[in-house]
Amino acid sequence: MNATIKLEKNHFPVLLDELISIISPLYGGTFIDCTFGQGGYSKKILENKKNEVIAIDRDATTEKLANEFKEKYKNRFYFENIRFSEINKLKLNFQNLSGIIFDLGYSLNQIKDYNRGLSFNSIGKLNMKLGLNSFSAHETINNLDQKSLEKIFKFFGEENKFKSISKKIVQQRKKKILKTEDLVKIVNVVKSYKSSKIHKSTKVFQAIRIFVNKEVSELIYGLINSFKILPLGGIIAVVTFHSIEDKIVKFFFKNYSESKNFSRYFPNLQKNKKIFKLINKKPILPSLKEIKNNSQSRSAKLRYAIKIAHEDNFEELYKKFKYLLEVENLSEKL
């Protein structure tokens, strides 16, 4: 008898219906779920017995649920604990690959695990590691110089008070090693005015999490390496939750779906090659009903593209987000 898989009670896969309608799993095929998490997308795809799912996740705690999937779906489900930037290292046959899916949000289990320090309610040593990391938020906050912290908060958090918060952190850590609750207090002191609907520490926590998990390079290399293994006609679909992610995905799809000259001085020489077909130029957003049922979906955006040609040159993508990659490289100081 097949095992019954019970997902987290309050777990809602974001834009699930919209995503399923895009990748059309009813026709059968192999799909890669790059952010397995609580398995919401994988479970829906596997409802059709013609489908196979290759799931990956950098968080080792997802292996327990993945083992339940293996038990139920047998040879239709495969899981590996790797970062999705390494998707091209999977030693599998991708000939029947129909689509690759990314959900860039983090799961309810990760938020509820206060040892990770992703929540403002966490107490103790800063962490924020999502898996397969080389350093933590604790090392970042306690060891990087003020200028480096300023860049992280400015570019990864888009935090207006990046200078004041960084200065206060450096002053405070001279007295003691900073913990999660200390960081929240510092932000509250600096941003003493009445805040908007979001928590005062939201942007600072976002910035540190992006830095610790190298989310910019992960996404860039994840998209490029997904493209390389995807057959013609295959789909890449990405759900983003903040503007930095969305800018990268938007540029990747839009820039490589338009033929344009590299130089206005030599219009007939080099042109970039169209490698994607876009059906929707604008992102797909959650419905009011979904937002009401799951407030975490309110910032979600779904973009997707169909591969129509091969291409190895992604120099424009690297150049476009060079400034973000340079901020990530501040980790070399740790």
Residue 314 sits in a domain whose CATH number is 3.40.50.150
pLDDT of residue 269: 44
Same domain membership, residue 196 and residue 133: yes
Is 319 a domain residue? yes
Q: Does 39 reside within a domain? A: yes
- pLDDT value, residue 167: 97
The answer to whether 195 touches 292, Cβ cutoff 8 Å, is no
Q: Is there a domain that residue 109 lies in?
A: no
In this structure, the answer to whether residues 220 and 209 fall within a common structural domain is no
Q: How far from the centroid of its chain's Cα atoms is residue 145's Cα?
A: 27
Residues 21 and 84 in one domain: yes
Please report whether residue 4 resides in a domain: no
Q: Within this chain, do residues 66 and 209 fall inside the same structural domain, yes or no? A: no
The whole-number average pLDDT for the span 105-121 is 76
> Packing angle between helix 215-229 and helix 202-212, nearest 10 degrees?
50
Domain span at residue 131? Answer: 118-213
The least confident of 14-18, 88-92, 300-304 is 88-92
In a domain, 126, yes or no: yes
pLDDT band at 195 (very low <50, low <70, confident <90, very high): low
**220-278: pLDDT as tens digits:** 999 999 999 999 999 999 999 999 999 999 999 999 998 765 455 545 445 567 999 99
10-19: burial string, b at 16+ Cβ within 10 Å, e else = eebbbbbebb
Residue 166 has pLDDT above 80, yes or no: yes
Q: Are residues 137 and 194 in the same domain?
A: yes
Q: Domain check: are 39 and 20 in the same one?
A: yes
The predicted model scores a pTM of 0.93
Domain boundary residue, one of 213, 235, 269: 213
Asked if residue 133 is part of any domain, the answer here is yes
334 occurs within a structural domain: no
Q: β-strands 301-307, 276-277: how paired?
A: antiparallel
Domain C-terminal end among 189, 213, 237: 213
- Residue 6 forms part of a structural domain: no
Q: In total, how many domains does the chain have?
A: 2
Residue 159 near residue 203, CB atoms below 8 Å: yes
232 plus 314 within the same structural domain = yes
> Which of 22-36, 200-214, 265-279, 312-326 has the least mean pLDDT?
265-279
172 and 315 part of one domain? no
Average pLDDT over residues 285-299: 93
